[in-house]
Amino acid sequence: MKVKVIIDRFQGRLRQGVAAHRKAAYRAHRVLGVGLALWLALLALTGALLVFRAELDWLSTPALRVEPAAASEPAWRPERVTAAVDAHAPGARLLRVDRPATSRSASLVRIAEGAHTRELFVHPRTGVVLGGRSLDDGQHSLADLVRQLHVRVLLGAWGRTLVGLLGLLWVAALVTGWWVHGRRRPSRTWRARLHAGLARVTLPYAVMMGVSGAWLGLETLPYLLSRVDLRAAFGAPHEAPHDAPHEAPHEAPVPETQAHGDVLAHAEEHANRALPGARVQTLWPPEHPDQAWLAGLEHTSAWLPPGAVELDLPRAAQPGQSGQPARPARLYAPTTAEHVTGALEALHVGSFAQHAGPFAWPLRLLWALLGATPVVVALAGLYGTLRRYRARAKQRPPLPLTPRPLRELT
């Protein structure tokens, strides 16, 4: 009998503790939901659009549109692209050359002209310059504006850290929501059922998005903190070192891309020889004539962002010389952190779907629809919470009026 009484008391206290924790989780979920609803709706909507970022840029920029290549014609001739840029802007410094995002897109070439940076649209096979745009301002295209809204909310480098913190708070809201609504009876209103039901169905996807968004947003935090000058923040004057003489800045000599034309023409062969199944996604020119071109590779089976796997292309022979290149190609394997970042980025932006062959478009469309579900969940929860607050405010009794003494007639 005494054992049964002890067990009953223990179960009662356990139920009270669970109820108290659930009540605290409900309050935390309500506060997080109200605070994150609009932010989450903005990030989810822009993230769903970024799944089709290349297509969005192609639709909003007519100069990017080209005809697809024939079956027997190479889709990209980087040696012709770089030669056309040299002829179009002789005094410019080449920064990078990107493979066309789609079969109907031009190749993007970034150049520097003094203190200004431009992006040229070059035909990927003929080398004709189709147009360009300035990169001096923050948002130079509609697709880049959507990306800046999603990655940095238009707040610069620290905005990316803010987005990472919002990702952590989103995961906390998902955990508290699962704890609160996991065993509750379905609500009578359709808005509450939509909020709870859609959140339950997409819970694994939402947790993955929150964790990957937090990782990608907070990975640059150590770099940003290393650039903070604490002495200047607290008012201490900045003293320049006296032992280092002041030197005028000088620019690296611009290499002749014609001397590397043979290397660029066979860049795909070097990439497949160094890493079977890979293709060149981005080309970076050398800063000095004795250096080699660097190629960012995209592997068909690895969940890595373009450029995580880099290839040091063979150094071309100097003009007037013959024989083999001065140095063979060298492959730079990514680190463990780059592997993790690449896998999370591929999941977050849906770039893994491009390796699915005929199922690429259905997977991208599914990823975009799943990315838009937090908009419905957040707005439905916010509307229900505000409506509940308004109903409770109407049910409160009015404040009693203090009686005022009547003035005596004089």
DSSP string, 87-131: HH-TTPEEEEEE--SSTTBPEEEEEEETTEEEEEEE-TTT--EEE
> Is 51 exposed, middle or buried (CB count within 10 Å of its CB: 0-12, 13-18, 19+)?
buried
Better-scored residue on pLDDT, 210 or 387: 210
Residue 371: half-sphere exposure toward Cβ, Cα within 13 Å: 24
Amino acid 370 reads L
Least reliable range by pLDDT among 294-303, 334-343, 400-409: 400-409
**Is it the case that residue 239 has pLDDT exceeding 70?**
no
- Predicted local distance difference test score (pLDDT) of residue 238: 46
Residue 304 contacts residue 334 (beta carbons within 8 Å): yes
If you average pLDDT over residues 275-300, what whole number do you get? Answer: 82
Better-scored residue on pLDDT, 182 or 107: 107
Q: Which of 91-105, 174-188, 301-315 has the highest mean pLDDT?
A: 91-105
Q: How confident is the model at residue 186 (pLDDT cuts 50, 70, 90)?
A: low
The residues near 375 (Cβ < 8 Å, ≥ 6 apart) are 40, 41, 44, 45
Better-scored residue on pLDDT, 253 or 21: 21
Mean of per-residue pLDDT scores for the chain: 81
Other residues' Cβ atoms within 10 Å of the Cβ of residue 234: 7
Entry field: residues in the chain: 410
- Predicted local distance difference test score (pLDDT) of residue 251: 44
Amino acid 389 reads Y
- Predicted local distance difference test score (pLDDT) of residue 5: 66
Residue among 129, 133, 131 nearest 144 (CA): 133
If you average pLDDT over residues 303-315, what whole number do you get? Answer: 76
Q: What ranges in 182-299 are assigned the alpha helix state H? A: 190-201, 203-218, 221-226, 230-233, 261-265, 267-274
**Is it the case that residue 100 has pLDDT exceeding 90?**
yes
Residue 304 contacts residue 338 (beta carbons within 8 Å): yes
If you average pLDDT over residues 40-69, what whole number do you get? Answer: 93
- Predicted local distance difference test score (pLDDT) of residue 130: 93
Extents of the domains making up the chain: 29-61+145-227+356-392
**Is it the case that residue 248 has pLDDT exceeding 50?**
no
Residue 114 tokens read as 């003094």
- Predicted local distance difference test score (pLDDT) of residue 189: 80
Number of DSSP helices (H) and strands (E) in the chain, helices first: 13, 8
- Predicted local distance difference test score (pLDDT) of residue 21: 76
- Predicted local distance difference test score (pLDDT) of residue 217: 93
If you average pLDDT over residues 355-376, what whole number do you get? Answer: 91
Q: Which of 184-193, 209-218, 379-388 has the highest mean pLDDT?
A: 209-218
